[in-house]
Amino acid sequence: MIYDLYHKTEFNYQSNVSFSHNIARLKPKVTPYQKLLEFEMKITPEVYESYAFTDMFGNNNTHMLIREPHQSLCVIGKSKVEIFLELIEEYLHTARSNSITYESALKRLSHFHSSDLYAKPYLFESDLIPYGSQKIKTYALESFHKNRDLFEATHEFMERIFHDFKFVSGFSDITTPVEEIFEAKKGVCQDFAQFAISALRSIGLPAKYMSGYIETLPPEGEEKLFGADASHAWFAVYIPNAGWVEFDPTNNMIPKDQHILLGSGRDYNDISPLKGVVFSSGGSQLSVMVDVRKAKV
Amino acid sequence: MQIFEGYVSESSFDEVYDNEKHIRACWKDIVSDIENAGLELLKEKQAEIDWHLKESGVTYNIYNNYDKPTNRSWSLDPIPFVIDGKEWEKTKKGLQQRAKLFNLILKDLYSEQKLIKENIVPAEVIFGHKGFVTEVFDFGYKEDFNLYFYATDIARGPDGKMWVINDKTQAPSGLGYAIENRLTMNVVANELYPHISIKKLSAFIEEYKALLKELTGGDSSKAVLLTPGPYNETYFEHAYLSSFLEIPLVQGQDLLTKNGAVWLKSLSGLKRVTTLLRRVDDRFCDPLELRNDSRLGVAGIVEAMRENNLNMINPIGSAILENIGLNPFMKKIAQYFLKEDLILPQIATWWCGQKKELDFVIKNLNKLVIKKIDRSENIKVYFGKSLSFDERENLIELLRQSPYKYVAQEEIDFSTVPYYENGKIEPRNAVIRTYSLRKNSDYSVMNGGLVRMSATKDGLMVSSKNGGISKDLWILGEDNIAINPINTLKYTPYVETSIHKISTLKAENLFWLGRYLSRSISTTRLILHVIKQITNFYRYEIVTSKESQIILQNALTHMTMTYPGFMDTKNKKNLDVFPMIEITSVIKETYRSGSLSSTISMLSNSNMSLKDILTIESSKLFEKIQTEWHVFSSRKGDSTLVVANELDTFLIYLMAYKELVHESIFKEQGLILYDIGYKIEDALLLTSKARSMLCLKLDKSIGYDVLEGMLNSIESFNAYRAHYKSSLNLKNVVDFLILNPQFPKSLMYITQNLLKEFKLLPKAKTTSTSYEKVMLKAEVLLKSIKIEELIQITEEEGVYVELDKILSQISDLFLECSNEFSNTYFSHYDE
């Protein structure tokens, strides 16, 4: 499957900014299951200098310095991405059959095992995702029984989030604590992802924040409007002996060729699409526009 | 033996006496010197030490709350901690080994991570510690990514050996205090310990300078010391070290990054920086890539490192080494990297992340001390034996929840040293902070250190934050290498104030020091005048008319911009009858913008930032001002007379402070900036007062009152009388205060003087700069004035419209000048 992606992020400042350092992460990650066919980034105003680098999580970063006075900064990423469904299904099939029980997973994670090492950074609390309370742990453990297969357990856990939580936008933002989301049982995709990650880490499992896009379809008979999409977020769990497996609690599905990955990390902070430090008085406002559509072949 | 008779240590090891109560060899001379000196002399020497430390301004800031840091003066014991030269050589070898190991660990963790891959160190000890900075994950490959400066806390264990207690790697503190301690001890040592020869510190400082030279590619002027600022607890030391190492002391706002490199903003432009000796913690160094709420760092620093354009002492990421979780694995690490045994013993430590160890720790909790591996988050220490049942259960719960976060350590009884207090000598526990510096590919250890003692006799915790006492560390013996007498340590304060090199932040603070000081003085004078008027202080034959009083009061509101103030129409009656309520508020309420108290707190910020440039007397005076102001402004119910008296005293202090500022720095240095700030503010306040007091058409008697008030509020009544030898009239007063080119307080004089001073600035050009143009306009405007036209008035107006218009134009021009001036000199974004 091939997609055309358009992701615009814009900062509007209250007063004139004469000097600003920014980091954009709008270039989708390349994985064995996802190829980047084309990419271009447009920045207004013009950048004075920019540096590209790959961070520890494998995400593509662009550091940009803007030195002309500006009141808004607009960064547009346009990409063409190809996703290989067969490879994903093959991977999931192997992962499912290699999956182990929750108890054996915990046991293996508590010992040295060279293939598990790079899942370890995802075991701990991160800036935005603390461990969950006892209540959250209890909620999670309803799915994770000792002798239960970890793949199955996580699948059920995802389903429960989908059924128990209501998708409501406007209730939360990226800093809304996981506990608050759990109490209210509502939020948007990033809340569900962060809640799941917090719960999984609290019960000893490495979990990753996945950031990207999902294709949405317009109501029957209507034409899809440009820019009607949004960024999407989901999570991945690490199953020793099997590897990382992704789950999307917002749509109650295992991401395959409808999900396009931008990048991943311990939480949103590791993959925020645009961040910056400006020298000015007054605040700033962020606006985002996303479009995802199947490429015309 | 008299003084030491009562000295009995309960520790299993005492530095002075062995178990048979014999004095150890290396202490014999010291003990007999102390006995010879007697308690009286010891007391005298202690007083001398205290005086010296106070004179050099040695402080350790402690925070009670964010508003008011208390400057704690540093205290030093007249008895040193003595170590025999031979023993020290062995200890040094151990410290060098540990420094080498830590450097290897640092480089490995931020490159190949062999320690993790080969199961030498558990991944959790690294990734579960916030000190691991993912942003620099591959910087370990860089040649100049090294642990350059390393501090190790050691103490003597019960077996008589020196044990490692703590490792400090990201921005180790204390070296400045150690040097100051030595310089202070030198003062009293001649008399107290005349025959003892010890190793000197100067070689280490020379090595430090050599390291800076190496890191900057031979040009040490490309190195700076980055401090979090004057409110940091060890700011004294930052200023002190920057003097010794001869590098500028800067704050984050002094630097910017572009072209993938770091630049120092100076008055004459941007200057490249290649080496950062930083006292800002890892995560606060770069708000772009690290903590985005940090105001102490510089956006883009990590990128500059990534581009190989910046090295740091120590590099961002070093905090991962401040990790007690590494202790249990140090033996294995030493074998792995060096094939050596650890030379210095450590306290037995169990990392709870392993099942066997966790079970052991829970079983033996009573004998153990529990700590987090990451002490940057929480420095709480649990002493197993003193926990209540509940506390114990809670702790076990924490351990089971996140076992990898905790270690347990054996509780150790460390050695005691004699300490002089209140006329006697007592044993106290002590910890020594040692310093190592990277030299070639090895480490050099300073022959000395900072010794800190527990605050109480039975205290186990040693921490400067809790207010401890310090000692100098003496290594007995001669120096191996002859020390060039030129290089012997001497404290010569070195602060870059040459106008071409002064840092932007200091420059800006000097400018604002001028503005706030002028505002403080003018505000105080006007308030005093208003109060005196109210209380009829001048004892006129006729009672002060209510009308002139109201004009003065309104002038106060206008000048301080504390609106609505006396112009509050709803409250008018009350204000007229009880003006002191409003006046007291304008004096005392810090949170009221424009109040005297708020101006003083701004002034105090500027003063604090300039502490190392101004003379020590000015700091002392300012401290006195602050303390007394705090008492006065928080007191309620003072009579009007008391308020007037307090303000009188305060005004004298401010004038004295002003004088000290003038004495501190040359004009060619930064003082010119202060002066420009002062003059601009003076001009702004003068136009404000003139608009309130000179522009109203008044009856003759009231007019006389008001004119006199105007002159008195700027202390110019006598000058006027001397100049005009006539009674007061509006025409002469306007001529005097606005147009007289000889009178230093007049607008004309200030304008022309500023134009002269601008020519002395680094960016001055033959063509006029933006701020100069504005002042030239003001000069033309002033020269065009014909007084007679200004003070013409039509009956119905009641106001001198033309005069008011001109004053308002001039005021705008001065404001514009201030803004243009700031843009030109204090921001560098367009360079």
Those residues with Cβ within 8 angstroms of residue B417's Cβ, 6 or more apart along the chain or in another chain: B14, B15, B16, B79, B81, B427, B428, B430, B451, B453, B471
Nearest CB neighbour to A21, from listed B137, B259, B300: B300
Nearest CA distance, A233 vs chain B (angstrom): 22
Taking an 8 Å cut-off on Cβ atoms, the answer to whether B288 and A275 are in contact is yes
Minimum CA–CA partner of B110 in chain A: A56
Nearest CA distance, B712 vs chain A (angstrom): 39
Which range (A91-100, B127-136, B696-705, B729-738) has the least confidence? B696-705
Q: Where are the domains of chain B?
A: 59-322+415-487, 504-826
B59-62 and B424-439 as β-strands: parallel, antiparallel, unpaired? unpaired
Question: Which is more confident, B685 or B468?
Answer: B685
Question: Which is more confident, B663 or B364?
Answer: B364
DSSP-assigned states of every residue in B449-479 = -EEEE-SSTT-----GGG--EEEEEEEBS--
Minimum CA–CA partner of A125 in chain B: B128
Taking an 8 Å cut-off on Cβ atoms, the answer to whether B127 and A277 are in contact is no
Minimum CA–CA partner of B828 in chain A: A19
Which residues on chain A are in Cβ contact (under 8 Å) with B306? Answer: 51, 53
Q: How far is CA A30 from CA A84, A242, A243, in A?
A: 12, 21, 18
For an interface test with A, which of B111, B115, B118, B134 has the most A Cβ atoms less than 10 Å from its Cβ? B134
Taking an 8 Å cut-off on Cβ atoms, the answer to whether B123 and A23 are in contact is no
Write down the ipTM of this complex. Answer: 0.95
Task: Compute how many other C-beta atoms are within 10 angstroms of the C-beta atom of residue B307.
Answer: 16
pLDDT-based confidence at residue B799 (cuts at 50, 70, 90): confident
Question: Which is more confident, A279 or B484?
Answer: A279
**What pLDDT does B65 receive?**
38
pLDDT-based confidence at residue B198 (cuts at 50, 70, 90): very high
pLDDT in tens, B570-612: 887 777 778 899 999 999 998 898 999 999 988 988 888 887 7
Q: What is the mean pLDDT of chain B?
A: 88
Minimum CA–CA partner of A271 in chain B: B289
**What pLDDT does B534 receive?**
83
pLDDT in tens, B119-174: 999 999 999 999 999 999 999 999 999 999 999 999 999 999 999 999 999 999 99
Which residues on chain B are in Cβ contact (under 8 Å) with A57? Answer: 134
Task: Compute how many other C-beta atoms are within 10 angstroms of the C-beta atom of residue B170.
Answer: 24
pLDDT in tens, B380-400: 889 999 899 999 999 999 999
For an interface test with B, which of A56, A64, A106, A208 has the most B Cβ atoms less than 10 Å from its Cβ? A56
Q: Does domain A85-270 have CATH number 3.90.1520.10?
A: no
Structure letter (DSSP) for residue A258: T
Nearest CB neighbour to B299, from listed A21, A57, A67: A21
pLDDT at A251 over 90: yes
Taking an 8 Å cut-off on Cβ atoms, the answer to whether A48 and B258 are in contact is yes
**What pLDDT does B12 receive?**
84
Q: Where are the domains of chain A?
A: 2-82+272-294, 85-270
Taking an 8 Å cut-off on Cβ atoms, the answer to whether B127 and A21 are in contact is no
Q: How far is CA B779 from CA B134, B686, B753, B816, in A?
A: 59, 16, 11, 14
Taking an 8 Å cut-off on Cβ atoms, the answer to whether B260 and A279 are in contact is no
**Residues of chain A that touch chain B, judged by Cβ-Cβ distance less than 8 Å:** 18-19, 21-23, 48-49, 51, 53, 55-57, 63, 65, 67, 110, 112, 114, 117, 120-121, 123-124, 131, 270, 275-277, 279
In angstroms, the CA A169 to CA A167 distance is: 7
- Taking CB atoms and an 8 Å cut-off, how many pairs form between chains A and B? 70
Residue B95 sits at the vertex; the CA angle it makes with B93 and B98, to the nearest 5 degrees, is 110
Taking an 8 Å cut-off on Cβ atoms, the answer to whether B292 and A275 are in contact is yes
The pTM (predicted TM-score) of the whole model is: 0.86
pLDDT-based confidence at residue B691 (cuts at 50, 70, 90): very high
**Averaged pLDDT for residues B257-269:** 90
For an interface test with A, which of B125, B133, B257, B258 has the most A Cβ atoms less than 10 Å from its Cβ? B258
Question: Which is more confident, B56 or A264?
Answer: A264
Taking an 8 Å cut-off on Cβ atoms, the answer to whether B300 and A117 are in contact is no
Distance of CA B87 to the CA centre of its chain: 38
Taking an 8 Å cut-off on Cβ atoms, the answer to whether A131 and B402 are in contact is yes
**Averaged pLDDT for residues A137-166:** 97
Query: Which position has the token pair 């002003």?
Result: B658
pLDDT in tens, A96-127: 999 999 999 999 999 999 999 999 999 999 99
Minimum CA–CA partner of B301 in chain A: A21
**What pLDDT does B483 receive?**
62
Which residues on chain A are in Cβ contact (under 8 Å) with B257? Answer: 21, 65
Taking an 8 Å cut-off on Cβ atoms, the answer to whether A19 and B256 are in contact is yes
Cβ pair B76, B53 in contact under 8 A: yes
pLDDT at B62 over 60: no
Provide the percentage of residues in chain B whose pLDDT is more than 70. 91
Q: Does domain A2-82+272-294 have CATH number 3.20.20.70?
A: no
Nearest CB neighbour to B117, from listed A117, A123, A270: A117
Cite the DSSP H helix spans in B535-571.
Answer: 546-560
pLDDT in tens, A171-181: 888 889 999 99
**What pLDDT does A83 receive?**
97
